[in-house]
């Protein structure tokens, strides 16, 4: 049996930051990841990371916190938001001291750019590859500390014995064996669930693994109905065009060539928060002012030099996918599924309700993003809460003795794999995934109503039943069986989609990313509370609203940009 004090599931930014924090403290820590850490989707983050460094204009963590809370449509827990914003400048400098390649101002300090929903230019960046440079910096620190990485191990289940987390079970993709990995503390850092949708900025690997594992193990998911639709994604393949483009001054145009955003956000225009911009775009498209089902992202006036210096990646991505060069012509874009504000319920230290089990980054819901995340806050969340969860875990493991997991989880997982590989026919996971994608994109997109959401709940129930009784894995090999891994991933995605659809159906108000056409107003009297979803035996969620929103000093106000 593999054994470590701290095991981190996932090798993206949150996971590696947690592992480095633990390694620096001298703990025995390992990462379990379904791919090599530098392959993680954190690397696709483009625009930047927020911190009130005040390098361009005066700024404070408090101003950052206010913008974040307003952005969250007052659903974010304010104590957690404050903790994140206060830690942000320190974490940025920590990254810089470890060699992160940030873009610089002429005087040599870290450069900052404006981002949506922010009062000042607060977003630190490296051209439009910010996620990649931070990913590399953290991977370098893994190398420095010699952190053990169980690479291409797919975690399938969380072990809980006598009410505390005792590690995980993981499927070694190289030889097809399930292995028990014992840990005093387990930190999930597995990223988001964008693959619930047909069109998403998320890569193939963003399949809700940690969320699904925790949920199946009896830990609630929180605020799943809040799915962020990024305003600028490519029609052809859903690939992200960074908010940094608008931060640098790009326009959004409709078919008439009008900068329509000022109709919806008179002060901020294109730099309103993402939910506002996505709704505005979709309204333009629905009302017939779109161009082939898109609106246009126009960067031409920025000039060739600025585009090549600050936005080279998205220029090339758009060129590859559409054949259009952003230097010379506007790029057709539309909103696409991007970020899962909800996730595994944690406190402001990343701790779940089960001692020894933590979550950090996109898979967690602390909640710092509430009903809508601001651009530049996701990378920050990974770094701050990766670090904080590891700190808490290190204190925790000092207090408990050795953990000895029973073999019940391993045996259950072995049985699960035997069943999956034993079937000689049925419905393949890609088919089920497609059925889920279709109903999610049709019924739980930017504008929602009771009819569509009820249909999504029913469709997903059917998909769940078909999966449980009849899913068929075609590949029987023990070597790198991605057909089997895809079945696991689909299982997790269906779970999370069910929680999302039910949560959206029951939340009878519009707040942040949840826009109900049948309940168009925010309802603070009844809905200043989080949605907790508990998994029931048949896979459907049981909802519970016992967790209120923590307010410190920012009372809910009318939100306009």
Partner 1 sequence: MAKIKLDLFRFDEAVDTVPHRDLVEVEVPETTTVLDALEWAKAEVDGSISFRRSCRSAICGSCSMNINGITGLACKTNCKDVIKADGSISVDPMPNFQPMKDMVVHMDPFWDKYSRLKPYLQPKDADTDHATERRVSPEDMKKLVAVANCVMCATCYALCPVVSVDPAFAGPAAIAYAYRFIEDVRDGQRGERIAQISEDYLWLCAHCYACSYCPKHVDPNDRIIDVKRAAISDKVMMGERGPRHALTVSKTIKQTGMLAETEVVLGTVGRFNVIAQIKVLPLALRLMSRGKLTPFEMATGGTAPMLGLPSIKPIPKVDEVRTIFESLEVPV
Residues near partner 1 (CB under 8 A): 35-36, 38-41, 43-44, 53, 90, 92-94, 96-99, 101-111, 126-127, 129, 132-133, 136, 140-141, 143-144, 174-176, 203-205, 236-237, 239-240, 313, 316-317, 320, 428, 430, 473-483, 486
- In this complex, which beta carbon is closest to partner 1, that of residue 283 or of residue 482? 482
Residue with Cβ nearer partner 1 (334 or 371): 334
Strand 164-172 relative to strand 177-188, pairing: antiparallel
- Beta-ladder partners of 172: 153, 177
Q: Residue 136 Cβ, how far from partner 1 at the closest point, in Å?
A: 7
Which alpha helices (H) appear in 122-200, and where do they start and end?
130-145
* Structural contact between residues 32 and 25, judged by C-beta atoms closer than 8 angstroms: no
Q: How far is the CB of 41 from partner 1 (least distance, A)?
A: 6
Taking the complex as a whole, the smallest distance from the CB of residue 252 to partner 1 amounts, in Å, to 21
113 is catalytic: no
Pairwise CA distance, residues 191 & 201, whole Å: 13
Transcribe 387-438 into DSSP letters: HHHHHHHHHHHHHS------SHHHHHHHHHHHHHHH-SSSEEHHHHHHHHHH
What is the 3-state composition of the chain as percent helix, strand, coil, each rounded to the nearest 5? Answer: 40, 20, 40
Q: Which residues contact 541 (CB under 8 A, 6 or more apart)?
A: 221, 498, 499, 502, 503, 533, 534, 535
Give me the torsion for CA of 310, 312, 315, 316, rounded to 10°.
-170
| Cβ atoms of 470 and 418 closer than 8 Å | no
Q: Rounded to the nearest whole angstrom, what is the least distance from the CB of residue 561 to partner 1 in the complex?
A: 29
Of the pair 158, 471, the CB lying nearest partner 1 is at 471
CA distance 182 to 163: 15
Looking at the Cβ atoms of 44 and 528, the one nearer to partner 1 is 44
Least CB distance from residue 206 to partner 1, whole Å?
Answer: 9
Least distance (Å) between residue 110 CB and partner 1: 5
The beta strands (E) that lie in 115-175 are given as 123-124, 148-151, 153-161, 164-172
First to last CA, the chain: 55
| Strand bridging mode 251-253 / 295-298 | antiparallel
Nearer to partner 1, 235 or 535 (CB): 235
Q: Which sequence positions are flagged as catalytic?
A: 274
């Amino acid at each position: 049996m593999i054994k470590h004090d701290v095991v981190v599931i996932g090798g993206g930014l949150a996971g590696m930051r947690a592992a480095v924090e633990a390694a620096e403290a001298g703990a025995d820590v390992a990462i379990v990841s379904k791919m090599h850490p530098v392959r993680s989707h954190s690397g696709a983050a483009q625009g930047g990371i927020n911190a009130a460094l005040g390098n361009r204009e005066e700024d404070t963590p408090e101003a950052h916190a206010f913008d974040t809370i307003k952005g969250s449509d007052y659903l974010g827990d304010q104590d957690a938001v404050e903790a994140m914003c206060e830690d942000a400048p320190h974490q940025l400098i920590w990254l810089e001291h470890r060699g992160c390649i940030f873009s610089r101002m002429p005087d040599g300090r870290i450069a900052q750019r404006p981002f949506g929903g922010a009062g000042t230019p607060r977003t630190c960046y490296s051209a439009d590859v910010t996620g990649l440079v931070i990913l590399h910096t953290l991977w370098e620190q893994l190398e420095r500390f010699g952190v053990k990485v169980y690479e291409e191990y797919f975690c399938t289940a969380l072990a809980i014995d006598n009410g505390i987390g005792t590690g995980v079970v993981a499927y070694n993709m190289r030889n097809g064996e399930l292995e028990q990995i014992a840990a005093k503390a387990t930190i999930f850092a597995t990223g988001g669930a964008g693959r619930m949708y047909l069109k998403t900025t998320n890569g193939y690997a963003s399949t809700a693994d940690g969320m699904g594992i925790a949920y199946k193990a009896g830990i609630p998911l929180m605020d799943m109905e809040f799915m962020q639709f990024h305003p600028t994604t490519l029609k052809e393949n859903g690939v992200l065009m960074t908010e940094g483009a608008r931060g640098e001054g790009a326009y959004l145009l409709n078919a008439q060539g009008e900068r329509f955003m000022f109709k919806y956000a008179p002060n901020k225009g294109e730099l309103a928060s993402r939910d506002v911009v996505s709704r505005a775009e979709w309204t333009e498209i629905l009302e017939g002012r779109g161009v082939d089902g898109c609106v246009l992202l126009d960067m031409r006036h920025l000039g060739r030099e600025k585009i090549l210096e600050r936005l080279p990646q998205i220029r090339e991505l758009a060129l590859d996918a559409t054949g259009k060069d952003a230097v010379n012509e506007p790029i057709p874009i539309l909103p696409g599924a991007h970020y899962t504000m909800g996730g595994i319920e944690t406190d402001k230290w990343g701790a779940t309700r089960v001692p020894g089990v933590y979550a950090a980054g996109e898979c967690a819901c602390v909640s710092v993003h509430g009903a809508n995340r601001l651009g530049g806050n996701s990378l920050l969340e990974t770094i701050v809460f990766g670090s904080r969860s590891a700190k808490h875990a290190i204190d925790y493991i000092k207090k408990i003795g050795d953990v000895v997991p029973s073999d019940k989880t391993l045996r259950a997982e072995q049985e699960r794999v035997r069943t999956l590989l034993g079937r000689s026919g049925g419905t393949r996971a890609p088919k089920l995934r497609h059925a889920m994608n279709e109903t999610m994109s049709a019924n739980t997109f930017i504008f929602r109503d009771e009819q569509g959401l009820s249909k999504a709940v029913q469709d997903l129930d059917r998909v769940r039943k078909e999966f449980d009784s009849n899913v068929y894995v075609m590949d029987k090999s023990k070597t790198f069986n991605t057909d089997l891994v895809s079945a696991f991933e689909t299982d997790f995605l269906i779970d999370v989609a069910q929680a999302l659809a039910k949560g959206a159906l029951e939340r009878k108000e519009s707040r942040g990313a949840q826009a109900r056409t049948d309940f168009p107003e925010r309802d603070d009297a009844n809905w200043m509370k989080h949605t907790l979803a508990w998994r029931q035996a048949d896979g459907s969620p049981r909802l519970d609203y016992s967790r209120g929103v923590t307010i410190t000093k920012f009372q809910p106000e009318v939100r306009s940009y």
